[in-house]
A and B are shown apart, each in its own frame.
Chain A
């Protein structure tokens, strides 16, 4: 029950952050440095030893669905990418044993870059989707990934604060 409560609070915090980001977008997320605030939460859950994979994936699903609601994208776009991001981070966390701020930032940067690219790729197939030039898209993806990586340690710490159970090794 503790874990479920933690997941619900995380979803609510992501919801609040999305609201703030959409209202104060110019101030909090100046283009092209617009971070994906939801992704570090998903990565934190995926690499936390005390979070069961099922709970983490469900939380990622909920966070992705929230993104779909708020960004006006086709239903399932962010949901799919966030769940995929969760599994990718879980795999990386399983293969690598070290943790720390550098790990959090590198993981967030690389996965945000890959998942952002995947998002843009899928958007490219959307009827009436906005087509951007390769250079503009690359700059936007890199800047967005960088902004997400910079904020990642704070968001990882926030997850630990909200869900202390996530740090406990499974018994």
Chain B
């Protein structure tokens, strides 16, 4: 290395130390105290610095966006799992709310009935090919003191009666079963009669036979238990008249009753375990 090269290198090295120091000094000074040299340096360095920072920001932005997207994917997975869990919990809560409503309704019914009752849960439903419930089983049986013939009600009305008791379970004979017979009164005229299930597999219907042919009844009239025979307490809603037969001929006036109870939606029922105390409870 010759003398000239040594001097040049030394000058460059000195410049490498002095240039940033000078720029730093200009940047650190209060803008109001800048000298003409500082202002000149800042004017020269400004555009260069701007372009360099823009390029650095652009590269950093790309990398940060990529990392951000990775985080978004991870967040999405986490949120999806959280959403699934919340949906499951919501379904359970909705089911619980429905059950609480049914129990509240049954509690209200129990208080209105003013008779000894027992809550039972529906544990089995036999479904017809037309998706109609034709038989129910409940989770109370012999051990709970149940026996055949005890009325079974829901908050909408009469469900039927206990048909058979075995151990911890009991079968319920629905009002729509052909073997079911209940003495009833209809409408404001208190027309008397009895209903029996039609046992149709495609629809819920009962046949009603009135004691007299001249009773004034109409479609839509409410049908209640009469309390006759002490089998069912009086005034439990059974359903509504949906059809009236020909009144001019025959010994009896007949019609059809649509049950008030929706057998497909039954989850909880009340079993009346003692005789009626207040016939006008419902």
* Chain A bound to chain B: yes
- Residues of chain A whose beta carbon lies under 8 Å from any beta carbon of chain B: 19, 22-24, 53-54, 57-58, 60-61, 64-66, 69-70, 74-77, 79-80, 83-84, 87, 122, 125-127
What's the Cα separation between A87 and B59 when bound, in Å?
A: 31
Q: Residue B129 at the A interface, CB < 8 A?
A: no
Cβ contact within 8 Å between B53 and A122:
no
Q: How far is the CB of A21 from chain B (nearest CB, A)?
A: 11
Smallest CB-CB separation from A52: which chain B residue? B9
Q: Mark B54-69, 1 if CB is under 8 A from A, else 0.
A: 0010011001100100
Chain B residues closer than 8 Å to A84, beta-carbon distance: 17
Q: Which B residues touch A22, using CB under 8 A?
A: 60, 64
Pick the contact of B20 from A61, A66, A87 — CB < 8 Å?
Answer: A61
CB contact under 8 A between A127 and B30, given known A19-B63, A53-B13, A54-B12: yes
Which B residues between 141 and 185 are near A, CB-CB below 8 angstroms? none
Whether a CB of chain A sits under 8 angstroms from the CB of B97 is no
Q: A23-B63, A57-B12, A125-B28 are in contact. List 9 more A-B contacts (CB 8 A).
A: A19-B60, A22-B64, A23-B67, A60-B16, A64-B20, A79-B23, A79-B24, A83-B16, A83-B17
Query: Is the pair B63, A58 in contact by a Cβ cutoff of 8 Å?
Result: no
B123: Cβ under 8 A from any A Cβ: no
Query: Is residue B27 contacting chain A, with contact meaning CB distance below 8 A?
Result: yes
Contact between A79 and B20, CB atoms less than 8 A apart? yes
A53-B9, A69-B52, A84-B17 known; A74 and B59 CB under 8 Å? no
Is B83 an interface residue when CB atoms closer than 8 A count as contact?
no
Which residues of B approach A to under 8 Å, CB–CB?
Answer: 9, 12-13, 16-17, 19-25, 27-28, 30, 45, 49, 52-53, 56, 59-60, 63-64, 67
Is B22 a contact of A87 with CB atoms below 8 Å? no
Q: Which residue of B lies closest to A58 (CB)?
A: B16
- Looking at the assembled complex, report how far the CB atom of B47 sits from the nearest CB atom of chain A, in whole angstroms: 12
**Pairwise interchain contact A69-B53, C-beta atoms closer than 8 A:** yes
Cβ contact within 8 Å between A75 and B17: no
Contact between chains at A74 and B27 (CB < 8 Å): yes
Q: What B residues does A76 contact at CB under 8 A? A: 19-25, 27
Contact A75 B13 (CB under 8 A): no
Q: Give CA–CA (A57, B19) in the complex, Å.
A: 13
The residues of A that contact B45 with a CB separation of less than 8 Å are 75
Give Cα A22–Cα B22 distance, bound, in whole angstroms. 28
B30: chain A residues within 8 A (beta carbon):
127
Of all chain A residues, the one with the shortest Cβ separation from B53 is A69
In the assembled complex, which residues on chain A have CB atoms less than 8 Å from the CB atom of B52?
Answer: 65, 69
Chain B residues positioned under 8 Å from A19 (CB to CB): 59-60, 63
Q: In the complex, A59 Cα to B87 Cα: how many Å?
A: 59
A34 to chain B, nearest CB (A): 17
Measured between alpha carbons, how far is A87 from B13 in the docked complex, in Å? 9
